């Protein structure tokens, strides 16, 4: 039966690849939103893994890129510590069962674009002791974790968002290994875990942690009961573990960051699938406390999704339009505000890691972009900052996830397909 389903999936992919998928203008505050398209199977194609060989990713003129760690075990997010050391969260999670034949097909298609390395469930520490750009020390800071993802350093402690709990390690500057087992701060929703990643950032004053919790389905096909405490951002007191919903209706908030100078929380969010190659745009947005962002009832403000039943007109009317569309199905998984040390052309704005699409016959994403800001808001088209992952035969040599700006003037990029951490610096 599974074999038959996979054959149907391959046929669907072949047919969808014969159809053109024109890309409407989907960047910025007013994206082109075409009519929804629904069918027995959505468009599905994912690039297969390819080797880098002697090649490197492409970066803008005046910059260079180098791998600073290889042979990792599914690197997801990174954290630059005060002394310049880099922590890397490695792991893979989720245990949601398939509900429909197309879930089996989609799962198979997605698996073709993943690393076959087992997730490390650990934090790896990288150190460049002499400051020459070569991280000569690579060792395990802590292991035995459960699909770690979000990282934050607050008041002398490293906080880690596992797929099921927020935990804490005491930390002293220069420490290379955890001094003991992690201390649980708070449980995080983990039943089913259709979207398992738990993104995290800390408020500018360190009083709160913000944790992104994705939905347990694409569009409530598992029922609303399993969506309790999902599709939202929690605000957590790191001292007590007390938490509350900070914002809701965010289908899968995969990366969070605090804007320098303002303290404003921003997020990138992966939107819903299966209504066409150009719906629904993933987005970058400032996050309002108490705000509702549409999922599951509507998207991009008041565009109703009839698949979510029963509808809630009051929720739809209250849905906030995001600030900036990134394009549909790019799968943004990384977010970091830039700094003047990155150079005048890239001093004000955000870097976004785009893991890449599966719900299209023409792949999109598979790159790191820079979204320029002006007066504290996104302004202008995105700029390719790290690209060259996709190759001419339709395969890919990497899939960017987390991005982190080192204040000394470097962009750190986690790549969970080639299992590499890349470092981009100005020449």
Domain that holds residue 302: 2-19+37-426
Average pLDDT over residues 92-113: 84
Q: Which helix (H) or strand (E) holds 258?
A: strand 253-258
| pLDDT of the residue at 21 | 59
Q: Is residue 28 part of a domain?
A: no
* Distance from C-alpha of 33 to C-alpha of 35, rounded to nearest angstrom: 7
Q: Is residue 390 part of a domain?
A: yes
Q: Single out the residue of 308, 315, 263, 255 nearest to residue 289, CA to CA.
A: 263
Terminus-to-terminus CA distance in the chain, angstroms?
Answer: 56
With tokens 């409530």, the residue in question is 220
Is 37 or 122 the better-scoring residue by pLDDT? 122
* Distance from C-alpha of 168 to C-alpha of 34, rounded to nearest angstrom: 45
Q: Is residue 32 part of a domain?
A: no
User: What are the tens digits of pLDDT across the range 189-220?
Assistant: 999 999 999 999 999 999 999 999 999 999 99
* Distance from C-alpha of 288 to C-alpha of 174, rounded to nearest angstrom: 36
pLDDT over threshold 60, residue 1: no
Lowest mean pLDDT among 20-29, 349-358, 380-389: 20-29
Q: Single out the residue of 172, 179, 177 nearest to residue 83, CA to CA.
A: 172
Q: Single out the residue of 330, 314, 313, 320 nearest to residue 382, CA to CA.
A: 330
Q: Is residue 274 part of a domain?
A: yes
| pLDDT of the residue at 179 | 95
Mean residue pLDDT across the chain = 93
pLDDT over threshold 90, residue 2: no
Band (3; pLDDT cuts 50, 70, 90): very low
What backbone torsions phi and psi does residue 52 show, to the nearest 5 degrees?
Answer: -75, -30
Q: What is the CATH number of the domain that holds 57?
A: 2.120.10.30
Average pLDDT over residues 127-156: 96
Is 97 or 60 the better-scoring residue by pLDDT? 60
Q: Which positions ≥6 away from 199 have C-beta within 8 Å?
A: 77, 149, 150, 161, 211, 212, 253, 254, 255, 256, 267
* Number of independent structural domains in the chain: 1
Band (105; pLDDT cuts 50, 70, 90): confident
pLDDT over threshold 50, residue 13: no
User: What are the tens digits of pLDDT across the range 217-272?
Assistant: 999 999 999 999 999 999 999 999 999 999 999 999 999 999 999 999 999 999 99
- Dig out the tokens for 303 from the structure: 């565009």
Is 331 strand, coil or helix?
coil
Task: List, as one string, the DSSP characters of 153-189.
Answer: EETTEEEEE-SSEEEEEE--TT--S-SSPPEEEEE--
């Amino acid at each position: 039966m599974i074999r038959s389903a996979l054959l149907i999936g391959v046929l669907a992919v072949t047919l969808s690849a014969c159809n053109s998928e024109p890309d409407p203008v989907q960047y910025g505050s007013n994206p082109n939103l075409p009519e929804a398209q629904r069918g027995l199977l959505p468009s599905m194609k994912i690039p297969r893994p390819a080797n880098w060989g002697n090649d490197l990713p492409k970066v803008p003129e005046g910059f260079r890129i180098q791998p600073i760690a290889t042979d990792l075990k599914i690197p997801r997010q990174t954290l630059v510590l005060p002394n310049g050391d880099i922590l890397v969260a490695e792991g893979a999670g989720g245990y949601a069962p398939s509900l429909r034949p197309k879930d089996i097909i989609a799962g198979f298609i997605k698996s073709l674009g993943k690393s076959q390395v087992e997730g490390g469930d650990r934090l790896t520490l990288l150190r460049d002791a002499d400051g020459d750009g070569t991280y000569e020390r690579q060792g395990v800071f802590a292991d035995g974790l459960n699909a770690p993802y979000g990282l934050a350093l607050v008041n002398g402690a490293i906080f880690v968002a596992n797929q099921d709990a927020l935990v804490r390690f005491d930390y002293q500057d220069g420490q290379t290994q955890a001094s003991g087992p992690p201390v649980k701060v708070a449980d995080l929703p983990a039943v089913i875990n259709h979207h398992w990643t738990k993104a995290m950032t800390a408020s500018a004053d360190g009083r709160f942690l913000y944790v992104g919790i994705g939905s347990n389905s694409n569009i409530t096909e598992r029922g609303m009961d399993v969506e309790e405490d999902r599709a939202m951002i929690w605000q957590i007191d790191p001292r007590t573990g007390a938490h509350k919903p900070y914002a809701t209706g965010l289908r899968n908030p995969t990366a969070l960051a605090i804007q320098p100078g303002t303290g404003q929380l921003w997020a990138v969010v992966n939107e819903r699938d299966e209504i066409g190659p150009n719906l629904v745009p993933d987005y970058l947005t400032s996050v309002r406390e108490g705000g509702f962002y549409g999922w599951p009832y509507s998207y991009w403000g008041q565009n109703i999704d009839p698949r979510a039943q029963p509808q809630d007109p009051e929720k739809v009317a209250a849905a906030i339009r995001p600030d900036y569309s990134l394009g549909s199905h790019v799968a943004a998984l990384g977010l970091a505000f830039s700094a003047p040390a990155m150079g005048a052309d890239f001093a004000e704005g955000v870097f976004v890691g785009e893991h890449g699409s599966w719900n299209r016959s023409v792949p999109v994403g598979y790159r790191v972009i820079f979204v320029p800001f002006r007066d504290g808001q996104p302004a202008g088209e995105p700029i390719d900052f790290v690209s060259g992952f996709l190759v001419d035969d339709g395969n890919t040599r990497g899939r960017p996830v987390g991005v982190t700006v080192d204040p000394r003037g470097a962009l750190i990029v986690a790549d969970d397909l080639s299992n590499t951490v890349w470092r981009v610096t100005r020449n």
